[in-house]
Chains A and B, each alone.
Chain A
Amino acid sequence: MTTVSDTSNNWSKALRTLVRDYPIIPLIILLLGLVVALEVMRPGIINERWMANTIKFAVPLAMLAACQTLTMLTGGIDLSVGVAATISAFVAASQLTVLGPTGAILVALVPPLLIGLVNGVGVALFRVHPLIMTLGTGLIGTGCLLVYQRTVIASGSSVPDFLSWLGTGLTYGVPNSLLIFVPLAVVIVVGLRRTGFGRLLYAVGENEEAARLAGVRTWQVLITLYVISGFIAGITGLLYLGLIKAPSLSLVEPRVLPSVAAAVIGGTSIFGGRGGYSGTIVGALILTVLATMLTVMQIPEGTRRIFFGLIILGVTAIYVRITQDR
């Protein structure tokens, strides 16, 4: 009797330790479960084309979620990524005929970097809460975009061929967007573990006072962080432009809150100091598969959103429970 319960105890303990040390395992299991469920609901749907499509939509979401993951590690958030990305897409599309593809893409990255810089200065030096700061710069950015939109209407817009190729193209059935995403993901995952800057993000997020006492000038870390976040948002905007091919004000905005959800589902704590990017990537895939699933079920939009919200809450609650000790 005792041996049996001991073994089962040991097993559950070992499982818990495994899950805590490798929190990505239950996420991958959940993702696979969703894919299997989808195949059961609509046999034959899982094929090469479906996978390529899923990746195509999951990649830009995962990139936006990278901004959330990095800022959330310091206890912040970046709600301006939607606007930063949209501006970058608009500028690239409208300047193509004027500056050529390379020039247009380079110029397009300036506004998101600026938004990031302003966010960083506000958060780090003026101690504005990141939620408010990035909400504010997002609104200001939207206003500027409305003005800029007239230029676009006047001059017309077109998508650089390179971006269409990157956003929608396939090479041997593999989405080209992975050419951008895989290096970026590697840089972020390795950067968080193996660079001084990555260490400081966790340090500032977990205990800013301790970081300060150890000699970290936290404002330097925060400004750099928000500039990086703006930069990633800018690239994501270009990718969305290549994917959707028509710049509009609602190009990226509806993906901002899902990007926060992807980071949270991926195990990054919104209070800072805990998490990582690999979980976020799986989180973005889960959300994308979930969206497909709800579409396949052919239920009305309202019900679909309710389900979406409930599933996000449920997954997060369970995940937090199993990954945190005690």
Chain B
Amino acid sequence: MAASPILSARHVAKNYGAVAALKDASLDVAPGEVIALLGANGAGKSTLVKILTGAISPSAGEITIRGNRFNVSSPADARRAGLVPVYQEPSLIPDLNILDNLKLGSTPLEAFRHWLSELGVPDVDLIELARHQPLAVQRVIDLARALASEPAILLLDEMTAALPADLVDRVLDVVKQQKPLGRSVIYISHRFPEIAAVCDRAMVLRDGKTVGDLPITPGVEEEIVELMLGDAIKATKRAFATATVSEALKPRLEVSHLSAGSKLTDVSFDLRAGEVLGVVALEGQGQDELFEVLAGMTPPDGGGFSIDGTPCRFKHPADAIAAGHVYVPGDRAEALLMQRSVRENIAIPFHTRPSQWGLIDMAAEKAKVDAAIDRLQIDTRAQGEVQRLSGGNQQKVTIARWVAMGIETILCFDPTRGIDVRTKHQIYPLLRELAAQGSSVLFYTSELAEVQLACDRVVVIFNGKVVDQMDAEHADEPTLMRAAYGLTADDALQQAAQASASEPVV
């Protein structure tokens, strides 16, 4: 850092009420430098990005651009100051053509065309509506537009996620071309190979603090993983003995070569009766699509899955539920009727079929609902409307619904996200209990420590594929983190290739 930094952030913090989303983040970017910004889920990465791009203002700390105070209160201010972001989701207005989209930001057309051809898509029809362009092309257009505005600092947030490999290479090339032009890039990605290819330095966040600022050298990945984990990685004590799942038992759910959308490319695994199978993945690696397909919300594009040996093709969540295969979404608001009572929320699955539309046996319903409330220890002091319950209790209601109905497989997508610790420690034993009674639990979690607290085994998904499977015993946080960043990806892919090569053709 010989040159004076173009962007400098010092001790930036952001509080939401009593909650500190960011505690002490510092960052220096020199002209022509490419910086990787890294951090595990909840480390404060997205908060820092929001502050830098003007979406929110910091509670404390100082940010300067070219030595001037960075006083931005809106994304437009940030752009004027020379900081231009490109996100994973396209930011073009879908119902305008590309040219009109460019005019909105007064993007110089010549420069835009130049970067477009550098990115390998020179012949985009500019008077075509943005939404008619393939998603990958829309992202590239976003990037070309950002580059054409000659930003002092370009912020790429997961820009390459779900981009085809050839386009990723082009993007990396273009990022490298910024260096001699004296433009800086803040590069956010989960992919170490990309970081190694273009970045000069890595800035690591953990628990809202900057914990490391290190040059990219071969083998630095391990060091970065250690930094992201910190010293909170004492092996979590398991509160239960791993269920004795007989390997010989036929798996309940067999997923083979499932693909859907642009993110889920090829996932295969087995879920056995009586086990809790963890799923670990970084944001946006295809896990959302996996759960949606298994829950019958969207049809798969390729591959398939079978339950107890029978191939299944769900057209509606009702089909999945009829097969005893239920889904608890990550977003509670998606599953709940916020204005209705706890009782009605738990009882919806009882009345779904037209044959169940008649008079309700209120006493029988109450008995079933109360049993579920008891079992999950739901605090019913505010049961008149679910929206008055705490987040943890709301989450319990989404699970209680299925416990009351009786199920064989439960798909939980990050059920402990954003709920209090006490409730979390009620949910783990509950999942164990369901498994002990013979149900199968598929449990996606964004908190790596939960794998050892609740699961028997775990599959790790990276880039739309299963890259690792292991017993929970061995799945400590460092191992999972490495796997989640695809650091064992090559080995796993090789193994998979060998396995499929040796498989007899049916």
Contact = CB atoms under 8 A, between A and B. Distances in A.
Contact of A206 (B317, B327, B339, B358): B339
Interface residues on A, range: 20 to 34
B250 interface: no
Interface in A201-236: 202-203, 206-207, 209-217, 220, 224
Interface in B356-395: 356-360, 362
B336 A196 contact: no
Contacts of A215: 317-318, 321-322, 348-349, 352
Chain A facing B: main interface SS: helix
B338 A207 contact: yes
Interface in B316-347: 316-318, 321-322, 327, 329, 333-340, 344, 347
A127 interface: no
B459 interface: no
A160 to B, nearest CB: 32
A217 B318 contact: yes
Contact of A211 (B321, B348, B354): B348
B245 to A, nearest CB: 28
A47 interface: no
B401 interface: yes
Max chain B Cβ within 10 angstroms of own Cβ: one of A196, A199, A200, A211: A196
Contact of B340 (A194, A197, A202): A202
Contacts of A195: 357-360
Given A213-B329, A215-B318, A217-B318, A203 B358 contact: no
A274 interface: yes
B350 interface: yes
B435 to A, nearest CB: 22
B339 A196 contact: no
A251 B312 CA distance: 54
A273 interface: yes
Nearest to B355: A196
B222 to A, nearest CB: 41
Contacts of B340: 202-203, 206, 273
Contacts of B442: none
B337 to A, nearest CB: 5
A68 B297 CA distance: 31
B362 to A, nearest CB: 7
Contacts of B347: 199
Interface in A64-121: none
A212 B337 contact: no
Contacts of B116: none
A164 B358 CA distance: 34
Nearest to B316: A217
A22 to B, nearest CB: 13
A216 B340 CA distance: 16
A273 B337 contact: yes
A210 B337 contact: yes
B336 A210 contact: yes
Contact of A214 (B338, B349, B360): B349
Contacts, number: 87
A183 to B, nearest CB: 15
A207 B336 contact: yes
Contacts of A199: 344, 347-348, 351, 360
Contacts of A203: 337, 340, 344, 348
Max chain B Cβ within 10 angstroms of own Cβ: one of A212, A224, A274: A212
A210 B321 CA distance: 14
B318 A196 contact: no
Contact of B318 (A209, A216, A224, A274): A216
Interface residues of B, number: 32
Nearest to B402: A214
B78 to A, nearest CB: 34
Contacts of A274: 339
Interface string B286-322: 0000000001010000000000000000001110011
B334 A210 contact: yes
Max chain A Cβ within 10 angstroms of own Cβ: one of B338, B339, B356, B357: B357
B300 to A, nearest CB: 18
Given A195-B358, A195-B359, A206 B338 contact: yes
Contact of B351 (A200, A207, A212): A200
A213 B362 contact: no
Given A207-B338, A273-B339, A196 B351 contact: yes
A164 to B, nearest CB: 35
B204 to A, nearest CB: 38
Contact of A194 (B321, B339, B359, B401): B359
Contacts of B360: 194-196, 199
A200 B318 CA distance: 14
B423 to A, nearest CB: 21
B350 A196 contact: yes
Nearest to B321: A215
Contact of B337 (A196, A207, A220): A207
A217 B352 CA distance: 7
A214 B339 contact: no
A273 B318 CA distance: 21
Contacts of A210: 334-337, 348
A202 B327 contact: no
A153 B323 CA distance: 59
A216 B336 CA distance: 13
A216 B348 CA distance: 8
Contact of A216 (B327, B329, B352): B352
A58 B322 CA distance: 45
Given A203-B340, A215-B318, A215-B321, A209 B334 contact: yes
A206 to B, nearest CB: 5
Contacts of B338: 206-207
A273 B340 CA distance: 9
Contacts of B336: 207, 210
Contacts of B327: 213
B316 A212 contact: yes
B258 to A, nearest CB: 20
A196 B335 contact: no
Given A217-B316, A273-B339, A200 B321 contact: no
28 contacts: A194-B359, A194-B360, A194-B362, A195-B357, A195-B358, A196-B351, A196-B352, A197-B357, A200-B352, A202-B344, A203-B337, A206-B337, A206-B339, A207-B333, A207-B334, A207-B338, A210-B334, A210-B337, A212-B297, A212-B317, A213-B295, A213-B335, A214-B335, A215-B318, A217-B352, A224-B354, A273-B339, A274-B339
Given A196-B350, A199-B360, A217-B318, 8 more contacts: A194-B362, A197-B351, A199-B347, A203-B348, A207-B333, A210-B348, A213-B334, A214-B349
Interface of A: 194-197, 199-200, 202-203, 206-207, 209-217, 220, 224, 273-274
Interface of B: 295, 297, 316-318, 321-322, 327, 329, 333-340, 344, 347-352, 354, 356-360, 362, 401
> Top 10 closest A-B pairs, CB basis?
A196-B351, A197-B357, A215-B321, A215-B318, A214-B348, A196-B357, A215-B352, A206-B337, A216-B352, A196-B356
